[in-house]
Structure 1
């Protein structure tokens, strides 16, 4: 017999479990299906474990600057196995918290693999054997590492991000295929602990989807820390001859790199394979589910959010989409604005971007003005020994409405929240300038960047006339 629910959600990652909680708050009888661990990729194999490693790496790097602060530590060192244990402990604590929230909200958690067999129908197997009926079904199935068609990608020692996160030993040398967010974050961690890292990126620059100046500055910082970077480098094959050999083409020349391990970090793909019974599939494109503005598919009662849609694959985007979709199901006005979704990179310094870049404005024919403040003049940056960084803002010409923001500095991922609010509410430069930001803080850089629009930045030397 099939169990009846108002909403059945497939996937208990950030998009799924947060949608389930909001549905419960709105009075919906909700089931949440998960074949692995609650929290999904973000909590178990993505955001949380990588940020735990990044925090440990940042702390270790900070130790190297102790003499500049008049401090010293005898016998300083690290044990990567214990670093890994700290990471695992953080994941377990947060996962237990999510499980507690699911129980507290009266959500039915079903363990097993989901198969959508038709409109409103889901079969669960591989764990609990159950059949569920939902007035609505929400797909929040997440994503998996994408592995390109490279010969030798299946050799021992070649890993994806999930595999590398499970390693308790620090690789001695690593060829990192892909200079996107995953690649630069892992290179930050591993190079900090002494691993020899080489990045091979097919695009002309690191983080090709972000502001050009961010890419250039990040490349300089990583090179300074010993990371070898090759852009415009297309990997042809991986072979084993004692060590792993990566053969790649750069500037028309074929070259070979020897290393102990290879990490393939070329993005992720929607985790939708095997999710639908024959005839039950919604409209899809390369595994990504197609939806309308309310996240409805072309199948009655079937919705999808997050990484299953392809495109931008961010935990906070999935969470916001899940809440938006559920509130629309309940006939409510959505409480979240989806027009200002920030992208964050947790390198050191951090990187955050929201809205349009100057290049994107040019491409779209939007008249704009761009302002910038170099954080080398910021007191908090100086006293905490931060490396090069900046706050860049893009305003619409004439109206002075904020169109976009790009930050590369300490705490950029925290600071960008204020600018997301400004974008969502179409605030102008003059409205942003009215805010008194505390001193000394990194967020003072926002004030300086805004004031630069009128040549009034206090801590920037006057421009030569």
Structure 2
């Protein structure tokens, strides 16, 4: 059987691209050896957020007394938490499998190897195709630390695979993965230590968010060491992580040590010996249409050298790549991507930060609202945070936003819409935000941007 498109990898990039291609009338095959849904659905975004939801429930129960609700002895069953996580994943996997079937996409189960342009070998059977799209994603990056191969030194894959009874957890890496798992296990009663090489946690985010998050996590009981370099991991009665921080040699002990230092492109065994695509920094190099150095072979998502390693980026790239194959204009602006972190409170960001604006010598206006005055925040007893929106001082167009507050990840798209459509301060000032909601904080930030905040004390 000959196909118009064979996609290797059925994660959020691959399966979305397959559905879009089928909608455009292409005959599509999806090659996947594991479960449909890729890392995001099976070993990343969804299972992590299920555990984060459980952790947030624990937090709410512990704080219930101040609302007049008396709760008996709190009992946490990690096995049931993981069972619920698995049920959520199974339901979503089945849903995607149903979509694949309904769109008449052939699922070829096995490991795909590109043996030539237009030819893919799966389990010693050769499939012919007009075009190939690589969507094989990424895997955890494990730095070469002496002792990193010891039992109990794990990545997010192993941590999510089965429940555990860790009482102490050391996390190497203070990026998104690290802080989210720190939040989960801290609520489970685990003593958590984060070791991060950069000056702050979440080094790629707005510096104010990074600093305030560190303060909040410390307040929750999480130990944090920044500007730190891990020297080695050893095994005594527990695992011991030896690291240097600000000129001092320190140690952190744990029942497990989580390596959360990022992810790297995965394409092992993907190409036959005589098929060589150009690489860039360990990723497959692609052009603006996501085509590799070999005509007719494309790559998207974490495996490619364009954009951030995020599930929604892979999905958007998949759609744009398929449209390009069909000589159509891409629909997604891939330069405007919202980023989310599911800590308590949540973090979300889109567009440029204050620091980036300064680097670009942009004259800006800033509207920043402290969520301490937000009614819904006070009612919920949430941690304090803020909503910050940035506009170009000349055009008055919205160009960036950063949020540290409850429901930030659900609200960031309002700012994305404003930036994508070139809305100005006066444009967004016409929007009515419902009361009482967290979303009122967005409206307050807009008002402050215009210089006339209603619910903020005037400056003396």
Q: Provide the TM-score with structure 2 as the length reference.
A: 0.98
The equivalent position to 1:265 in structure 2, one of 260, 265, 270, is 260
Shift of 1:443: 1.0
Equivalent positions of 1:20-419 (< 5 A) are 20-125=18-123, 129-310=124-305, 312-419=308-415
Q: Deviations over 1:325-383 (max 9, x none)?
A: 11121222323222211110011111001110010111122221222101111111111
What CA distance in whole angstroms lies between the structure 2 residues aligned with 1:380 and 1:281?
Answer: 56
8 Å Cα contact 1:272-1:287 kept in structure 2: no
User: For residues 107-147 of structure 1, what are the alpha-carbon distances to aligned partners after superposition, in whole Å with 9 as ceiling and x for unaligned?
Assistant: 0001111111111111113xxx4211221111111100000
Where do 4+ consecutive residues of structure 1 move more than 4 Å?
none
Asked if 2 retains the 8 angstrom alpha-carbon contact of 1:339 and 1:424, the reply is: no
CA distance in 1, matches of 2:101, 2:194: 44
Q: CA RMSD in A?
A: 1.1
- How far did residue 275 of structure 1 move? 1.1
SS of the residue corresponding to residue 13 of structure 2 reads helix
Q: What CA deviation, in whole Å up to 9, does each residue of 1:277-299 have, x standing for no partner? A: 12312111233011111111111
Structure 1 residue 188 displacement after superposition: 0.3
452, 456, 460: which is aligned to 1:460? 456
Measured in 2, the distance between the counterparts of 1:109 and 1:64 equals 46
Write out per-residue CA displacement over residues 133-173 of structure 1, whole angstroms, 9 at most, x where no aligned residue: 22111111110000001000000011000001113123110
What is the CA–CA distance in structure 2 between the aligned matches of 1:293 and 1:366, rounded to whole Å? Answer: 27
Q: Which residue, out of 414, 439, 446, partners 1:443? A: 439
8 Å contact 1:175–1:261 — kept in the other structure? yes
SS in 1 for 2:101: helix
Task: State the shift of 1:422 in Å.
Answer: 1.1
Quote the offset at 1:74 in angstroms. Answer: 2.5
What secondary structure is seen at the aligned counterpart in 1 of 2:369? strand
Indicate conservation of the 8 Å contact 2:425/2:450, yes or no.
no
The alpha-carbon deviation at position 255 of structure 1 amounts to 1.6
* Distance (Å, rounded) in 2 between the aligned partners of 1:365 and 1:294: 31
Q: What displacement does 1:453 show?
A: 1.7
Q: CA deviation at 1:252?
A: 1.8
Partner Cα distance (2:71, 2:236) in 1: 42
TM-score normalised by the chain length of structure 1? 0.97
Structure 1: stretches of 5+ with no match in the other structure:
none
Quote how far apart the aligned CAs of 1:73 are. Answer: 2.2
Q: Secondary structure at the match of 2:107?
A: strand
